[in-house]
Every structure is written in structure tokens, then in C-alpha cells.
Amino acid sequence: MDYILRTNDLSKSYRDFKALDGLSMNVPRGAIYGFVGKNGAGKTTLIRLICGLQEPTSGSYTLYGRENADREMRKSRRRMGAVVETPSIYLDMTAEDNLRQQYRILGLPSFDGLEDVLKLVGLENTGKKKAKHFSLGMRQRLGIAIALVGDPDFLVLDEPVNGLDPQGIIEIRELILRLNHERQITVLISSHILDELSRLATHYGFIDSGRIVRELSAEELEAACRKCIRIEVSNTGTLACVLDEMKLDYKILTDTEAYVYAKVNVTELVLALAERDCEVFSVQEKEESLESYYVSLVGGGKNE
């Protein structure tokens, strides 16, 4: 498989704190790579390193096959666009002037393609309206437009839908999919809105305490997210005894609710419970979500 980005035992320390601790990850060409982790897990640190904003303490990474210590690494980074934390935009400028400024910063010989970029992100009709009067979603799309100047084929987005309303989230999602499908741009995207990420990602990397704990494709994740039966009963203590006897995998949620991770003969289960005076109130088929898979993988707590 061809990879845009690979990291090898990458570490970054700030005095006594290890933000990254031997992180190894692989972003395939053409992927939308969902980067998932708790607040403080190291996602933004990794993004800052590959963008050249900081240097690793140890380990290495390659971008388009070039190692980070390579003197020519800047050539690889020219093929990459990024929006790190918040979009870097000039609030007193129009969308067009913001893009013109980025063309100048990159030393591009002309403004060719500027109108196409504005149209691509849906900002072609903003005219003389200054960025400070844009909605949050419009600013986010302008940030992505600036990252697209220079025609990169690798885009790095740090929490691109953070704080957006539902319409803004849909617009960013559709833009990312369009960039990936129509322009074959590989995207690395960190997000704490896991349900939204599941609508985009073709690959996932789960990070915890500065390490990748699992990398897998969307197909592998779908297989790993087990289907289960959600059952509501009068007493899950009795249910647990019956399920143990039937040698079925389960998880008790409350005094009355549980998940059963197996194909269940419902009639047999209901009769066995009835013999022990345990009533069954409801039985529903359920599929484990990305969020529940994430929690089971790295534990609870607030995620970024």
C-alpha cells in the first residue's frame, strides 16, 4: 500500500510531559483518515509536528517518502495544506483578498485558480463582505480554501466541525467528501464528533496517551463493531445467571438493561427467564456505534 504519511516511534516531550510516546501511524494515499482520541491524547501535537511547526524529541516520520530530517522535506510540505486548531484568516479582508494573500505568501507567480477555489468551498458570492462578518461555518470553509492554495494533495484538518451548527457541519462534510472523491486529496481529520466522523472516514487511528492503540479501515471497524441485542428485563441479576448458563457474551448496563453480543433464540431466553420470575419488557437489535467502540478501546472520559 502507498502511504502519504508514516510515523515511526514518534515522541514529543515538554519538560516532564510526554505528549507523544512512541507513536506509529500510517495514512494511505487517497484515504480520509479519522484521527480519534481524548482531550490531551496528542492529536494536535502530531499535527503540529508533521506541519513543521515543532520538532520531535525522538523517532521519525515520512511525508511522501521523505524523512523529517531530509533537507528537502519542505518540498513534501508544499504538497500539503492544513488548518490547525483555528483557521488562519485575516478578519478585515474579504475571502478573495485572504486567498490573494496566501498566494503571495507561497510565492505563486499568479492568482490562477483563485476563483475556482472560492467556488469549490462555496464562497464565490461573498463579494466585498469581510471575513469578520462571516458565520463560523463560512470562516471554516475559508480556512480550508486557504489551505487549498497551491493545489495540495494532502489536507490536514484539526477539529474542522468544532462549534458548527448542523448546517455548517453538513457543508464541511460535503466539502471534504468532494475534495477526496473529485480531487483525490488525502485527508487527515481529527474530530471529537465521532458520529460525524463515521460518515466520512475510510480509515481510523485511535490515539491514547500519545500512542496509537488501534489502526483499522472502515470495513474492519464495521466488522469490529459487534451487533447486539438490547434487552430490558425486570432483573438483570437473574438475566446474567441465565446468560452465563447459555454461555452468551453480555454487558449489564443498569438494573434492568443489558446488551447481549450473540445471536439469541429469543423464545428460549424468555422462557428461561420466566421460569425464574424475570419479566422481559423489550428486545431490540442494536449495532455498536463508533463512539461505544472508542470508549471500549480507550476507556471513558472526555474525548477531544
Question: Which of 178 and 195 is assigned the larger pLDDT?
Answer: 178
Q: How far is CA 244 from CA 204, 227, 239, 262, in A?
A: 34, 19, 9, 12
What per-residue confidence (pLDDT) applies to 304? 42
Would you list the DSSP string of 195-239? Answer: HHHTTT-SEEEEEETTEEEEEEEHHHHHHHS-EEEEEEES-HHHH
- For the domain 3-223, what is the CATH code? 3.40.50.300
Phi, psi of 142 (to 5 degrees): -65, -40
* Average pLDDT, integer, range 258-285: 91
Percent with pLDDT over 70 in the chain? 97
Q: Which helix (H) or strand (E) holds 147?
A: helix 136-148
Residues contacting 38, CB < 8 A, separation 6+: 208, 298, 301, 302, 303, 304
Q: Which residue has better confidence, 162 or 20?
A: 20
Band of pLDDT at residue 163, cut at 50, 70 and 90: confident
For the chain, the C-alpha Rg in angstroms (whole number) is 24
- Give the pTM: 0.79
CA distance 132 to 277: 65
226-287 has which CATH code? 3.30.70
pLDDT of 300 reads 57
Q: Does 303 score more than 50 pLDDT?
A: no
Q: Tell me: the pLDDT tens digits for 229-242?
A: 899 999 999 999 99
**pLDDT at residue 298 tops 80:** no
Please enumerate in sequence order all residues whose Cβ is within 8 A of that of 44, keeping only pairs 6 or more positions apart, or say none.
84, 85, 158, 190
Round to whole Å and give the CA distance between 175 and 115. 16
Q: What value does the mean pLDDT of the chain take?
A: 91
Domain boundaries, the chain: 3-223, 226-287
pLDDT reading at 3 higher than 80: yes
3-state secondary structure 250-286: EEECCCCEEEECCCCCHHHHHHHHHCCCCCEEEEEEE
Mean pLDDT, to the nearest integer, of 146-160? 94
Residue 226, pLDDT above cutoff 80: no
DSSP state of 132: G
Query: What pLDDT score does 123 carry?
Result: 95
